Amino acid sequence: MDTSILLHLIIWPTLFGFIINGLFGARLPRGLVGLIACAGPLLGFIATLIIYAGQPLLEPIRFTYYNWFTIGLGNQVGFSVHIDALTVLMLFVVTGVGTLIHVYSIGYMRDDAGYPRFMAYLNLFLFSMIVLVTASNLVLLFAGWEGVGLCSFLLIGYWFGNTEYNKAARKAFVMNRIGDLGFILGIFLLANHFNSVDIVTIQQSFGEYSQNDPLLVTITILLFIGVCGKSAQIPLFTWLPDAMAGPTPVSALIHAATMVTAGIYLVARMNILFSLTPLTLQIILITGVVTAIVAASIALRQNDIKKVLAYSTVSQLGYMAASLGVAAYTTAIFHVMTHAFFKALLFLGAGSVIHGLGGEQDIRKMGGLKSKMMWTHLVFLIGTLAIVGCPPFAGFFSKDEILAVVYSWNFWGFVILAVASVMTAWYMFRLYFSTFHGSYRGDHHVYNHAHESPAIMVGPLFVLAVLSLIGGFAGMPEVLSEHHMVHQFLKGSIIDHTHEVSHFFEYSLWGITVLALAIIGVLCYRIYGRQYPVGQSSGGVLAALLDNKFYLDEIYDASIGNPLKALGKYFGKVWDPMLIDAAVRTPGNLLQRASVGLKPIQSGQISWYIFSILIGFLIYAFLFLVKL
Amino acid sequence: MLSIVILTVVATVVLYLGFTQYKNVIIPFAVTGIVLVLFCLLTNQSLWNNWFMNMMDIQGSSKIFSVLIVGTTGCLLPFINLFRQRGAEEVADFTGILLYAIIGGMMMVSYSDLMVLFLGVEILSIAMYILAGASRKRVASNEASMKYFLLGSFASAILLYGIALYYTSTGSFRLDIGNSGQSALLNLSYLLLFAGLSFKIALVPFHFWAPDVYQGTPTIFTATMATVVKISAVGALYQFIRYCGVNMSDWLFWLISLTAIASILIGNIMAVTQHSVKRLLAYSGIVQAGFIIISFLNFDPKDSWIILYYLVAYTLASLVTFLGTHFIEEVSGTDDHSAFKGLYYNNPFLAVVMSVALISLGGGPLTAGFMAKFFVLSHAATAGNMALVVLALILAVISLYYYFRIINAMFSRTNDTRNWEIHWTYRGIFAILSLVTLAAGIAPYWLVNLLK
């Protein structure tokens, strides 16, 4: 088959779905709306499969739809597609997980009044995400980047009747904009100095630059600021937990599986550039490690089922960033993939619980749901085991690989990540046991009505559970197998700079992991599994610190938000009327006066008109004489 | 030549049709004639190769100017039928005279001999003097006709004086003899010719006739003045500068810059406080003329498409605004800008097409007017006249005020809820003009290639 047809099939159906559902969705039957919405990502997934099956992908597939504009010396910036191994892998995640979540949404959002709008937004999101991962230049990538940001904003504030949700949407947007500013400045610098924004040509033009060249460091740091915003790294991560205001499928798709990994994708995409700047990599490593531990520690004391998962996502993104920071880009992308499987599974499972309990999200009011929701319980358990890194689930392989590569570069980074791993195990087991084990602690009216979700929601959960179970085998560590499939596949797109670790370290790491998990599992079961410690008094300063998320929101408000607001008020009250208003009004008033003042010359008298023609002509003649 | 012959025949037949019972066929017949002429022009049909001994030649840019004049007339003709609703029976006379007028217009844009220019100016002008007084029973119309006639004669005298001096210094009426002399007499003749044509284009300081005449003339013929007459006069100036511009590049530059800025400035200032929309549009026409002649700076025949593009954009928008104003005048009896209030709620179609036209006149993006101003100013900027460009841009902002004042009025609520219909023919013409305005604004290059 002609490749360009496949490209059209990947890109356009989602946009088509958005337009149809967005314009006519309210008038179409709901079944058709769901069908149209799911067809987009499914077609994309199938087309990606065909590309994967039919092409060795040694050379990237490039296709230009339209030349947008020209920069510098005739370099075209176009609507053009670049498909290589990395893109294909990301497309698999985006369209594959995307399809499952679309199907799930049909069940989850069935009774919502804005169902067509929701489906249209989801399609638009997928379209933007596909543009982001297939873009052949940074400008188009940025367009997709902004598109997903917009959709994130729209979907977080999907229930716009609720002011809190709107605030969360606004926060996400503003935080992302701060990052985007860095990103776009980075693009400008690149375009300015290298005369191109194409992701391939630009990475070939760094030959003459030495390591840690100030220009390159500036560019990479600017790009990384963009990554911090989109991939929720410290200091810009505070929007992601609030983003849980959106419907649960949104949290699963946008704020766990796909959009937040866009930043990781960007760094992996520009890996040659980042590898030239070890200084930036060091910053990325530190940021990632700190993000991982800070988010994991906050998650320990959260009581909202989705908030726990949100902080867990931030923490996992920290892992990915840490992996990028040691130039192990492939490992980061591998974790993006496995994380997409199990985190989507966990979110959708949590959504199933919330759905079954009629909207309850507080784990203190749950418990004992094992018997009521057998399938959800099963898949949630698989998801939990995957995220805590229990062999042979998906998370084990990718997380183990991250720990190993970080260890080979930086011992203390490894130690902190290991501690974060322990925390991960703790908050996930806590979440699992307090939700499904023990006895129900909420309103018994709700409990009696608790039910398993419909097949259309459980189906996608099973697919994701299977993926969480076996997805890790795509990347078997070097000790076990000669072929690390992900590394093999991405060889053409990414050049890693990793060190080998000893086999002894690998084996001992596994042993310690299994042992630690067993201990934590038993402990959690004893504490949370039987009877949840209700009314347990919080202990000390540290607990208060964790409960209040390290007071980060308050600190941001006090240090940046409030001064800015005060400045705005000052300018609005003092400068604006004095300077801007006056500057606008004065010329207007002068003009009015001039107009009225000049009116008498249009007297209506022909004699005067003829006289004025004469005067005009004399002026001409005078000018003519002077110039001659 | 064939097109002029056809026009003459059609116009004469139309005049005779006026004596018969078949008054309904006048306009369809005239429009058919126009279509035929357009066909002849576009396919270069001609009877003789030698036009009046090469005194005029409808080729190249002259051809496009002619097509523009004839096409505009084609849009205007159906509206003449509206006079019959008022009870005026002189439809045949108006149609015939209008057709004769554009023969003059075509001569003005394709002359290479000053005699042809003068003939063209007079044919067009005398026809317009009559049409200005088309509403015989209205004092304002008579006054407009009289003023136009007196001032126009004066301008013709200036033009004629210029022609005479040209003949005196070169011994010929021809412009294409490659005269490169710099005698004072010759330069004076250029000056007089420029002044004479400036009057027809309505440039400061020869603009005084425009507001008074535009306001008094029946609106359909005001539209004719604003479009056909202006295109013809700009075409005449184009021919003049094409042949003689080289000889006077130095002071012509100052003359045009000064005239352009003065026109934009005075036109804008005067337009700000006008209540009559027709008067306002007259001043806006002066401003637009100022912009058009900016593109004569650093003249190069290769860039003639810039002038043509501006004229097309201006013509499209002017036709819609003037003819739309005609309908409002019909309904409310006045062209005061308060009569536009609430138009959107009475006749949304007209309000929308007029808004598009007004935005285009103001140079709003996505309309032809934006690209027109952009091309003109970027041409001037590339030629190095930055000061002029900046000044023109600043002054252009003023025009947004009075255009948007009308749009604002059209979309504000009123208690007046008269619903009135516009015949589908006219709505069709409005729709086509607006669509072309938008198409030329969104994707300008098809039009640019057409004009090249």
Q: Is the pLDDT of residue A533 over 70?
A: no
Residue-averaged pLDDT of chain A: 87
ipTM reported for the complex, 2 dp? 0.86
What is the distance in angstroms between the Cα of A579 and the nearest Cα belonging to chain B? 19
Q: What is the percent of chain B with per-residue pLDDT over 70, rounded to a whole number?
A: 96
Banded model confidence at residue B300, pLDDT cuts 50, 70, 90: confident
Q: CB–CB of A627 and B254 under 8 A?
A: yes
- Cβ contact, residue pair A620, B191, below 8 Å: yes
Confidence of residue A360 (pLDDT cuts 50, 70, 90): confident
Please give the pLDDT value at position B178.
Answer: 64
For the stretch A444-496, pLDDT in tens is 777 788 888 888 888 999 999 999 988 888 877 777 766 778 888 888 788 88
B175 pLDDT band, cuts 50/70/90, is confident
* Contact residues, chain B, for A605 at CB < 8 Å: none
CB contact under 8 A, A616 and B206: yes
Q: Nearest 5 degrees, angle CA B49-CA B117-CA B55?
A: 25
pLDDT band of residue A288 (cuts 50, 70, 90) is very high
Judge whether B194 is closer than 8 Å to chain A, CB to CB. Answer: yes
- Domain boundaries, given as residue ranges, for chain B: 2-451
Could you tell me which chain A residue has the CA closest to the CA of B250?
Answer: A627
Cα–Cα distances in Å, from A428 out to A308, A434, A598, B206, B251?
8, 10, 80, 86, 85
Q: What is the DSSP letter of B56?
A: B
Residue of A nearest to B209 (CA): A609
* The two structure tokens encoding residue A241: 């937990």
**CA-closest candidate to residue A347, choices A558, A105, A168:** A105
Model confidence at A319: pLDDT above 60:
yes
* Chain A residue numbers touching B271 (CB-CB < 8 A): 595
Q: Is the pLDDT of residue B211 over 70?
A: yes
How far apart are the CA of B196 and the nearest CA of chain A, in angstroms?
A: 10
Q: Is B251's CB within 8 Å of A617's CB?
A: no
Q: How confident is the model at residue B375 (pLDDT cuts 50, 70, 90)?
A: very high
Residue A343 has a pLDDT of 93
Give pLDDT, residue A365.
82
What is the rounded average pLDDT of the residues A254-264? 89
Q: Chain A: nearest CA to B304, how far in angstroms?
A: 26
**A511-525, pLDDT tens digit by residue?**
888 888 889 888 888
pLDDT reading at A598 higher than 70: yes
Q: Are B340 and B254 in contact (CB under 8 A)?
A: no
Give the pLDDT of residue A627. Answer: 67
3-state secondary structure A392-421: CCHHHHHHHHHHHHHHHHCHHHHHHHHHHH
Instruction: Give the closest-approach CA distance of A79 to chain B in angstroms.
Output: 18
- The pLDDT of residue A286 is 94
Which residues on B lie below 8 Å from A604 (Cβ)? 212
pLDDT at B181 over 70: no
Out of A313-322, A354-363, B339-348, least confident range: A354-363
Q: Give pLDDT, residue B270.
A: 92
In terms of CA atoms, which chain A residue is nearest residue B184? A628
Higher pLDDT, A217 or A1: A217
B181 and chain A: CB distance < 8 Å anywhere? no
Q: What is the pLDDT of residue B186?
A: 85
The model carries a pTM of 0.70
Cβ–Cβ of A610/B154 closer than 8 Å? yes
Give A498's pLDDT tier (boundaries 50, 70, 90): confident
Q: What is the mean pLDDT of residues A186-199?
A: 87
Who wins on pLDDT, A198 or A532? A198
Q: Report the range of poorest mean pLDDT among A542-546, A568-572, B234-238, B264-268.
A: A542-546
Average pLDDT for B5-28: 90
Q: What is the pLDDT of residue B248?
A: 65
Note whether B188 contacts A: Cβ–Cβ < 8 A: yes
Q: Look at residue A76 and give its three-state secondary structure.
A: strand
Mean pLDDT of all residues in B3-27? 90
pLDDT at A392 over 80: yes
Task: At B109, list the tokens.
Answer: 């844009």
Whether residue B270 lies within 8 A of chain A, CB to CB, comes out as: yes
> How much is the pLDDT for A143?
92
Distance in angstroms (rounded) separating the CA atoms of residues B212 and B193: 24
- What interhelical angle do B91-110 and B2-17 show, nearest 10? 170
Cα–Cα dist B145/A491, whole Å: 84
